[in-house]
Structure 1
Amino acid sequence: MSLSTVRLHQLLVAAAFLVPCVVLVGAAWWNRAEVLREEDSAVVRTAAVMHEHASKVFDTAELAMDRVDDYVFDRSWSQIAASATGGFLASLKAPLAQARAVWVVDPQGRVQASSREGDLGRDLSERDVFSVHRQRDIGIYVSPAVREPDGLTAFMVSRRRSTEDGRFDGVIVIALGTEYFARFYAEIAAPTAHQAMLLRADGALLVRDPPGPEADARLAPSDPLLRAIRARPQGGAGSGTPPGETERLYAWRRIGDYPVQVAFSVETTVALDRWYDNLRVYGLVATVSALTLVLMAWLALARARAEQQALSDLKREHAQRLAAESQLRQSQKMEAVGQLTGGIAHDFNNLLAVITGSLELVQRRIARGDTDVGRFIAGALDGTDRAAKLTHRLLAFARQQPLEPRPTDPNRLITGMVDLLRRTLGETVRVETRLMADPPAVFVDQNQLENAILNLAVNARDAMPGGGRLTLETTAGTLEDGTSAVAVTVRDTGTGMPPEVVARAFEPFFTTKPQGRGTGLGLSQVYGFVTQSGGRVRIDSRPGQGTAIELTLPVSLEGVPAETAGRASLAAPAPGRAAQTVLVVEDDAAVRLASAETIGELGYRTLTAPDGAAALATLDREREVAVLFTDVVMPGIDGPTLAAEARRRRPDLRVIFATGHPRDDQQEGPRPAPGETVLRKPFTIEALAEALEATNRAEASA
């Protein structure tokens, strides 16, 4: 191993860290621009909706004034005052939810007919809604919003009463309530922090949601929105910073030929908040990717250095051969692990792609108001479930996963391993399956069975140095006591074994491989796992005719594989349990919040504590706590110690241990006592619900 090769590995370690960082920075800036474009489009769309709504309201108001004008055209003011004009106006106003009143005002400015009896005789001579029409016919006029005597705010839309000779003979007025517009604006913009406005071209605010102080009823001349409206009165979009505020994205449109605009705006920080959320996701993905690449590159560098040191030691001193051979065996173990982790890394990348893609689709659809995201959420949940199973498979490979038998579909398990086996065994080995139709479920630890099949497949590959065919079979079988079973067979076309080797194949540390090529533990582990599961193992092998190893496994009495159950239903709290209080103790803030939210989702009341000392103080203060949900490994007081002290103070307290640490001969983890349950991380909401319900059943049976 040359020095240049080691230097190359060092550069790979640096590149494994720098490349994801560079990609993250580029993706972050691209996503920032994309988020701002999407938010700008959303603002424009909302302004368009406001424009359509306001256009209909003003057109309806103008149509109503035309009908009033036609009704009173050839009538004198005495006839208008004496006739049933008020009834006609009331019937005209009834279907107009936005109109608060309809008035016919005489040339002196007094209301002669009204849809509300209390307004008759009201003097409007000093109001601009009347006075602007005296000198000439200006068409439709919209007055500023004013507070009426009844405490509500309205603005007036008015026009001249038509006459044959064009002289001024009074006006027709419709009062439009601002609360009608504000309610509509609040509905279309909720729950986004926004500013929706209906305003005149001179900056006078007719309606604003959310409402502001009455002193701010007009935009300042320096306001960027008002300057933009004056520059492009028909409509547009842009950004700017109002006096004393932060930068905003806004869009505006004119309402037909009326001197009125609608405008909608949001703070730029609203869009940037979404960008920050995306940035956190990108950062997490980049961090995981960088750490994975750095770890793999570092392992390769460590291997290169170890081999360099081994070769150097062999050249310097023959007496150090035993130590060098030990290092060589270790490096070859690392090579086997590297082949396996290459496949696992591929699977993890696929799962991350599923989860990230699904969540980004959910985010984008929700951003544009589309709530049909159920299938994408289901895809992300399925990806996390598969990732958890992959983690368990790694723990099983390291022999750190406790034996947890459950109903398992053997066909589904084998089918799910085919891609992994093909990547692990290489291109010279062809992997085939021969599966029986609708096999019964077997009662076995699924992860350990996968590990056993993987060990047998690797042994088969070594027995086929020139390549060959590996066949995975499932057939009906029986155990020694005659009970039904399913036989899983791993068959190869390799060199085979003579009878004396078959007789010793299951002995620990027995191996026919050259020194440094095997530990002799693979078949002994398979034998121990199968016999511990209540099954048996049989070898059929002859030199030159290949080998078949048959694992006969007991059939599950439950009959339905756990894999097919899926996310059928959540275990709901039993009647009377919904009011129970659960104290969540976890030193990791994010995990503590997620656990508390999930337990709350199941209908329980939750309290939280960051460590054991705070948890004991909470238990002394909150006597209604019924369940202690605690992590196992915590700084200070650990989970088992906390549980023991808590149950000493509160003997009726039930305990759930949540742990993500492996369990082996040196570290058994918490051993549950009566009233206690162990929940393995990462857990699903179904598993959490079952654990909580288990504590309830334990209480009921106590």
Structure 2
Amino acid sequence: MITNPESSALDISALEIPVPPRDFGATRRMLMAALVASIVTPLLFLVTYGYFGYQTRVADSSEVIDRLARVAEEQAVKILDVDQEMSLRVMSMLGTDGDAQIRARQQQLHHFLQETAQRLPPVASIALFGKKGDLLVSSGTYPVGILSIGDHAEFRPAQVPDAAAIEVSLPERAPATSVDVFNTSTPRYDANGRFLGVIYISLRRDAFLSFYEQLTSHDRALTLGLFRKDGAILARSPPPKARRAPTNNQPLVDAIRVSNRDGRIRINSTLDGVEKLLVYRKVGAYPLYVTAGIPVSAVTYRWIKQDGLIAVATLLPCCGIWLLVLFSLRRLKAERIAWERWRAEFGMRLSAEATGRQMKRMSALGNLVANVAHDFNNLLMVVKANMELARRKGFNGLEKEVMAVERASAGAEVLARRLLSVARKQPLRQEEINLQRWFEDDAALIRTSLGDRVSLSISSFADIWPVHVDASELQSALINLAVNAKDAMPDGGEFIIRGENIEVAHASGGLKAAEYVVIACTDTGVGMTRSVAQRAFEPLFTTKTASAGTGLGLAQVIAMCEQAGGTARIESVVGEGTTIRLYLPRRAAQTETGTRVMPPSQAPAKASGKGSILLVEDNEEVAAGLAAVLEVFGWRAQHELTGDAALRLLDDGKTFDLILSDIQMPGVNNGIDVAEKVRRRWPRQAVALMTGYADELERAKHAGVAILSKPFNIDDLQALLQSVHVAASPVAGSGKA
């Protein structure tokens, strides 16, 4: 029963029960602290050391590939600078010669280009193309054949006057030499900016690949590459490893858009299919980039290989400490179980005392809620009385505003009724209800409360006994259950209502021996845990968010059942759903005689004639509002603040057609006392009472007078006045002693 060892010692000492001087909780906390410390301390050290070690390894690897990228950039700049120098020399020789002049000098130019290409190992060939892309001169062949590059992608941009100084083609295999090359093209223009042709220089890819292999020979995890600005691969060592590797490096293109010159990035390489650290640098002023990279897995492996031995050496002695602490915890658990068995009977006593304290707290909460609702109802009486006066006076141009206040007061009245219902102090209008007809009338309202995702199924209530309850309270209870079911089934489900007749032979579980109707409401929602189900009927207890629930729904349900003479019970399984059973009596426990609670009027009765009323009300604002309304109806009202003052006034010989008194008032005599004394001394005097408390209502029933339940409608008051005028006006005052 008791699971908290820290608090149990205090509770048992309060009962003056001798206990062994042993604090299992403190001992266990010390052992757990030692265990946690022996785990956290070395792990924290290893994590910190490993983190900084990993960051150092990443930084070192980044420095390595950064140096490689710089070296690769320098090599590419040298080759491309030579390429540009050759292009300038050729353009100087050609001047502004057109296609015809160049063809005429083909042999001379061929020998010059051939000698130049042979002196430069990275250069595979040099060729001159005319303004339409036709081959004019080549270092490889003389005379040249028919060849055109007019449809090549790198040739078309060169025809534009403001084209780039150099264009680079995709890699290809030279037809004459079968050498893998990529071509650079430099456009030629005359003095007027007219396009004359291009100078094509084919650079050997192996000039770059062999250099990259030398740079990465000490570490095969490294990669070096030369790329165009659109990500196209010109040279890369080693070649891409990914299956179906793309022809361009899209992550590199994305990085270039962010930083055009150079940068360090961590990417998922589409060429190798692994995560990599990558450094890229632009090759001088050329539209090319060199990259150097290393897989993150290689960096991680080297880090683990270096730091793993340190981790093993640190954790081995820790394992011995862990085993020792776990053994101690196991021994402590065995000792605690033996001790818990000894004090189990005292836990039951403590549980009973806690239950009693909880009942006292709930009773205090109910009284607080009832007092707040009572005062709130008095305020509503003032508002409703003044609204009726405004209506009787034609609104004076404020009809919309008054109607808005009337709608708000109606909502406030519902809230006050819910509060009083939870506190078991709501005045009830109990009546015999045929459930079959009642569900036929109210099923639509329940279905609306469930929303679109939840279906409603109501079994037949044809053979179910009538019940004796407050119809509005029963409606509120089922709507509350429907709303809770909807919240428990956010993805939809089914809400089932069934009825059953039962007979309880012996009182048990809050039920007296009697005949009951059980209304079982079942949902297929998420269900409740046992701890939540035990507290589900507590007022203000809710598992919903602050803006989604008030904790009054199920409290109203059980309050309605208990006020009717029954109870409510809950069964729930997590993940399967919840069933709440309402036990309602078949008939009232006693027959009401001589007292009637004024029901809501369907249409206002028209009072005729005038009379006098003694209004006994301790709230002057409520009294002023009611007096004003009574004057509008043609009745003269005299107000007294207490029942004592009212009795003194009657003893002095004052006569009235009606005495309308609140029940709860200061002084010796409350409203019920006034009614009882008036009925004894002046039996024919008309008396009516006003109240907002159910417990007062039960006592007032024995006085044999009409009762208005606060806050009542003005139509109810008018109906009461009409009945008094018809029945009591001929004998007003004559019945006084």
TM-score (normalised: structure 1): 0.37
| Structure with max Cα Rg | 2
TM-score (normalised: structure 2): 0.35
